[in-house]
């Protein structure tokens, strides 16, 4: 190891999703960490951003967080690493982040530095050729192997990078790394492995740091934490004045995804945290020992995420306050669905209802027998191949709540539903078509690394 200890600054569990809190960011920066690392994406946001190639995070929030990290890391002369640029890590979002970095460098007239970036998108024909050659594209989380039909339904695919392209970029001398879709863990583990620390320490460090202050108490997002690693342990320290890292908070966060195969494939092995020991090191720091990492034998398998369009989508809203209607809301919804089916029988569409306040919760649950709810909010969502059909499906599905024919209702006196005058168009509906792995001979095969020079002093 080139260092006996390594300190990593993480300010945001999903860069740009909401702005980083600046007070704790600069408290952490003043401790002079060795690396500034952040993950900027997730599949938790669903398949729509990947399918539409749009961000779930506001551009101003992303620029804000990148600017903080670039200012601090360049002032100290230490590396800055970003994974899953622009929420999805698509090629266009990598280019967008590279553009943001250039813009920020110019704004602050920064001296010359090296920026490395890599793409993660995968061409469907690459996957098709693998399948035609007899390669199995194995499913994760209970999915079956990928079929040609599922591949044809896919609009965009990204591969999820492990540590390899980040380490390659660091070996090339990168000051700033802008990554495509990446394992959350790999963003941090790559720095540790590059500096010579053991894999079990590196991957556990990544697992516990990637959501930043989610691993601290009291609960609070977007606050900075510092991870300190040695060859034997990981220490997590809260930088926010109101937070601390405790055995309960760190263990609770570290273990909530411990059985997810995601880590097996993107990190090249499986984390085993069953023998981890958590102890309070000081008032704001938790020390962790005992993490294990079991590498996977054989060819490297890279996780793939794919999104395919289902149709155009509209949304409507209705509210109900009448006790009798609330007690019979299931029959009301059934009536509305029947009217849509009467109009669009034989046509392709989807109609869903989300009921807020039903039995005190949201969702289509068991029929209501008795409830104390005095008001329900009903979200109506219609999906169809065209905007025209999607709009009409949603409109009928919403308005027929008002027209539902219930027993014991005499005239309009018993009508107790309020609906919006119109429905609104929202983003198209997409579904996950790939949650699979592809075997590769070279872990860098899908992630070519490019190096450029950035000079903010140039006009």
Work out the average pLDDT over 41-58: 95
Query: Which has the closest alpha carbon to 11: 178, 213, 182?
Result: 213
- pLDDT tens sequence across 2-14: 789 999 999 999 9
Q: How many domains does the chain have?
A: 2
Q: Could you check whether the bond before residue 218 is cis, i.e. omega within 30 degrees of 0?
A: yes
| pLDDT on residue 265 | 46
Where residue 79 falls among pLDDT bands split at 50, 70, 90?
A: very high
318 and 346 together in one domain? yes
Taking alpha carbons only, the member of 130, 183, 442 closest to residue 305 is 183
For residue 280, give every residue at least 6 positions away whose Cβ sits within 8 Å of its Cβ, in sequence order, or none: 246, 247, 286, 287
Mark whether 225 and 321 lie in a shared domain.
Answer: no
CA 322 from centroid of its chain's CA atoms:
40
User: Can you give the pLDDT at residue 372?
Assistant: 62
Shared-domain flag, residues 285 and 345:
no
Q: 204 and 84 share a domain?
A: yes
Least confident of 39-43, 104-108, 122-126, 454-458: 454-458
Q: Are 155 and 311 in contact (CB under 8 A)?
A: no
Residue 137 lies in a domain: no
**Which pLDDT value is given to residue 298?**
78
Residue 27, domain member (yes or no): yes
Q: Among 87-91, 253-257, 298-302, 341-345, where is mean pLDDT lowest?
A: 253-257
Q: What does the pLDDT look like over 114-136, one tens digit per residue?
A: 999 999 999 999 999 999 999 99
* Residue 152 within a domain: no
Determine what percent of the chain is predicted with pLDDT higher than 90. Answer: 76
| Greater model confidence, 402 or 250 | 250
How far, rounded to the nearest angstrom, does the alpha carbon of residue 302 sit from its chain's CA centroid? 18
> Exposed, middle or buried, 427 (CB in 10 Å: 0-12/13-18/19+)?
middle
Please check whether residue 118 is in contact with residue 165, taking contact to mean a CB–CB distance below 8 angstroms: yes
Of the pLDDT bands very low, low, confident and very high (cuts 50, 70, 90), residue 263 is very low
Which is more confidently placed, 230 or 142? Answer: 230
Average pLDDT over residues 326-350: 94
287 and 358 in a common domain:
no
- Please give the pLDDT value at position 262: 39
Inside any domain, residue 179: yes
Residue 130 near residue 137, CB atoms below 8 Å: yes
Same domain, 275 and 342: no
Q: How does pLDDT run across 345-403, given as a tens digit for each residue?
A: 999 999 999 998 866 544 444 444 455 667 889 999 999 999 999 999 999 999 998 88
Distances (CA, A) of 288 to 2, 103, 336, 351: 22, 40, 55, 48
154 within some domain: no
Same domain, 407 and 277: no
Domain holding 57, by residue range, is 6-120+161-299+441-454
Residues 405 and 363 placed together within one structural domain of the fold = yes
Q: What is the pLDDT, as a whole number, of residue 167?
A: 97
- If you average pLDDT over residues 396-425, what whole number do you get? 76
Residue 226 included in any domain: yes
Which one is predicted more confidently, 373 or 83? 83
**Contact yes or no for 207/185 (Cβ under 8 A):** yes
Considering the domain boundaries, does residue 133 fall inside one?
no
Q: Which of 395, 432, 366 is nearest to 155 (CA)?
A: 432
Confidence band of 410 (pLDDT split at 50, 70, 90): low
The per-residue pLDDT of the chain, averaged, comes to 91
Output the CA–CA distances (angstroms, integers) from residue 438 to 128, 146, 162, 209, in the order listed: 11, 10, 13, 27
Which pair of structure tokens corresponds to residue 100?
């943001």
Q: Answer yes or no: is pLDDT of 413 > 70.
A: no
Beta partners for residue 279, in sequence order? 287
Contact assessment for residue 56 and residue 432, using Cβ atoms and an 8 Å cutoff: no
Q: How far apart are CA 226 and CA 106, in angstroms?
A: 29
pLDDT of amino acid 365: 44
Are 183 and 40 found together in one domain?
A: yes
Q: What is the pLDDT, as a whole number, of residue 383? A: 98
Give one DSSP letter per residue of 165-222, joined into a string.
HHHHHHHTT-SEEE-SSB-HHHHHHHHHHHTT--HHHHHHHHHHHTTGGGGSBS--SS
Mean pLDDT for 224-233 is 97
Whether residues 41 and 187 share a domain: the answer is yes
Convert the pLDDT of each residue in 174-193 to its tens digit.
999 999 999 999 999 999 99
**Does pLDDT of 236 surpass 70?**
yes
**Is residue 44 situated within a structural domain?**
yes
Statement: residue 286 has pLDDT above 70: yes
């Amino acid at each position: 190891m080139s260092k006996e200890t390594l300190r990593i600054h993480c300010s945001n569990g999903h860069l740009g999703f909401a702005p980083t809190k600046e007070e704790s960011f600069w408290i952490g920066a003043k401790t002079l960490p060795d690396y500034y690392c952040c993950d900027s994406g997730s599949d938790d946001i669903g398949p729509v951003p990947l399918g539409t190639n749009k961000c779930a995070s506001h551009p101003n929030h992303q620029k804000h967080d990148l600017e903080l990290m670039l200012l601090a890391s360049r002032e100290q002369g230490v590396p800055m690493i970003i994974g899953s640029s622009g929420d999805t890590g698509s090629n266009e979002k990598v280019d967008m982040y590279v553009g943001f970095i250039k813009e920020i460098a110019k704004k602050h007239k920064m001296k010359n530095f090296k920026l490395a970036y890599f793409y993660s998108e995968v061409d469907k024909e690459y996957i098709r050729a693998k399948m035609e050659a007899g390669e199995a594209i194995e499913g994760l989380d209970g999915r079956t192997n990928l079929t040609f039909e599922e591949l044809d339904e896919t609009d965009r695919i990204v591969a999820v990078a492990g540590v390899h392209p980040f380490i390659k970029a660091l070996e090339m001398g990168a000051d700033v790394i802008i990554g495509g879709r990446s394992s959350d863990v790999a963003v941090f583990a790559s720095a540790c492995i590059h500096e010579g620390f053991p894999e079990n320490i590196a991957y556990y460090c990544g697992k516990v740091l990637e959501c930043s202050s989610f691993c601290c108490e009291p609960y609070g997002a977007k606050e900075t934490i510092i991870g300190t690693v040695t060859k034997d342990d990981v220490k997590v320290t809260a930088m926010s004045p109101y937070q601390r890292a405790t055995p309960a908070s760190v263990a609770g966060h570290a273990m909530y995804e411990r059985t997810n195969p995601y880590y097996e494939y993107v990190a090249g092995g499986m984390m085993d945290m069953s023998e981890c020991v958590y102890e309070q090191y000081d008032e704001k720091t938790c020390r962790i020992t005992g993490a294990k990492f079991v590498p996977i034998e054989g060819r490297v398998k890279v996780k793939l995420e794919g999104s395919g369009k289902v149709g155009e989508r509209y949304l409507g809203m209705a509210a109900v306050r009448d006790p009798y209607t609330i007690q019979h809301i299931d029959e009301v919804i059934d009536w509305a669905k029947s009217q849509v089916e009467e109009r669009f029988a034989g046509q392709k569409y989807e109609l869903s209802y989300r009921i807020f306040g039903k039995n005190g919760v949201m969702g289509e649950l068991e029929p209501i027998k008795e409830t104390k709810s005095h008001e329900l909010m009903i979200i109506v969502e219609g999906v169809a191949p065209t905007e025209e059909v999607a709009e009409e499906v949603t409109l009928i599905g919403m308005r027929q709540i008002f027209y539902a024919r219930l027993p014991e209702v005499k005239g309009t006196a018993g009508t107790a539903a309020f609906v919006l005058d119109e429905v609104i168009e929202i983003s198209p509906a997409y579904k996950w078509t790939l949650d699979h792995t592809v075997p590769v001979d070279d872990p860098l095969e899908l992630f070519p690394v490019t190096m450029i020079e950035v000079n903010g002093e140039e006009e």
